[in-house]
Chain A
């Protein structure tokens, strides 16, 4: 399932995938895979992304029913 919340949060801050990847310390492909729903990140990476985007884990990674 695509993670549109992450994509929109990133776009809101005018960050490209590469920018976010550099800030988090992963590859651009990994951010792309997370947004496309191809890869489930670990809790550590989720926290790093949340910190960079100024969101909570629930806001970015909690699936709505």
Chain B
């Protein structure tokens, strides 16, 4: 079968699947039975302390089942999607949220600064009351967390983390707080995850079909890169060096993790940075020792790709710096990975540039020597 035919079939299949998945997700989201309760309260703050201890929201659940609860509270006008771009100190106090049933029994309690997602809870049909309790001191927070048991494990950590800024979480004045409490049936979450996985799998299959189609019709792609024995040796040395770099990095990260350091970055981010570091070490070593490019492979095409990747990531980094999503609430977000991706590919690009100059110099020298010999 011709390459163009296979590609066309694969693209049509992909478009049909994307359309189908989009339709299913759209229908599913319409089915979502969200129960939302919200209100706006005026709170006066004096010397870092609000004039009321709590606000209350009432809501009714018509159908029994498992629900996932979300709650947020923020100054009026700030949307949930904008939370990321505001520092925590601008958004309000630490809040403990407790959900009570109509018999005044506690269903669950959770806590956070501005936005939180509670675990899945089993709710029967009836009326419920959500209480937002404003917390202004670490001690008050710990007491509440213990009183309501749930979320108590978070208390010492959160209280310790926020202790230096507890009193200055909100400037004095009168401001409107928008409370929102949202219950989403757990089933829609599961189905959403399910369709997400199916969607990802289908896209993966389509990409694989496209790649197979390209590979089956191109001998050049089918051939694995060929390195000579010196290059293989250098590549082996590169892998050994990378292994030690990764070992040391992982060891240091683990030690810091155990010691409770590095609070400004998620460890998942840190481990991916380790991967970038290792790739960078290996590729730069191989480029410098002329073992990265296979026999007869052109450096210029790889340089173009690396330059393009560097630029794309750089643009993302600039955007994340501009909208403040790179560093939020004293933490580096996942956008920092774009920064490290940029640095990794930039380092490779620069190494290639230097190597190109070095090779040109060496070639000129060899040509001179050969002329002298003649």
- Chain A residues in the interface with B (C-beta under 8 A): 7-8, 11, 16-17, 25-27, 29-30, 32-33, 39, 41-42, 44-45
Contacts and interface: CB of A to CB of B under 8 A. Distances in A.
Q: Give the dominant DSSP class at B's interface.
A: helix
Contacts of A25: 228, 295
24 contacts: A8-B373, A11-B370, A11-B373, A17-B366, A25-B228, A25-B295, A26-B228, A26-B229, A26-B230, A26-B295, A27-B228, A27-B230, A27-B231, A27-B295, A29-B290, A30-B228, A30-B230, A30-B231, A32-B362, A33-B230, A39-B233, A41-B230, A42-B229, A45-B229
Nearest to B366: A17
A32 B290 CA distance: 12
Contacts of B233: 39
B223 interface: no
Contacts of A8: 373
A39 to B, nearest CB: 5
Nearest to A44: B229
B356 to A, nearest CB: 13
A41 B374 contact: no
Nearest to B362: A32
A32 B370 CA distance: 12
Nearest to B295: A27
A47 B229 CA distance: 14
Among A8, A30, A39, the one with the most B-chain Cβ atoms within 10 Å of its Cβ is: A30
A17 to B, nearest CB: 6
Given A11-B373, A30-B229, 14 more contacts: A11-B370, A11-B374, A25-B228, A26-B295, A27-B290, A29-B230, A30-B228, A30-B231, A32-B366, A33-B230, A41-B230, A42-B229, A44-B229, A45-B229
B316 to A, nearest CB: 36
A62 B373 CA distance: 22
A49 B374 CA distance: 21
Nearest to A4: B373
Contacts of A17: 366
Contacts of B374: 11
A2 to B, nearest CB: 11
A42 B231 CA distance: 13
Nearest to A14: B374
Contacts of B366: 17, 32
A7 B370 CA distance: 9
A30 B230 CA distance: 6
Q: Which of A16, A26, A29, A33 has the most CB of B within 10 A?
A: A29
A42 B230 CA distance: 9
A32 B231 CA distance: 13
Contacts of A33: 230
Contacts of B231: 27, 30
Interface string B25-47: 00000000000000000000000
Interface string B214-257: 00000000000000111101000000000000000000000000
Interface in B352-374: 362, 366, 370, 373-374
Contacts of B229: 26, 30, 41-42, 44-45
A10 to B, nearest CB: 9
B158 to A, nearest CB: 58
Nearest to B234: A39
A33 B374 CA distance: 21
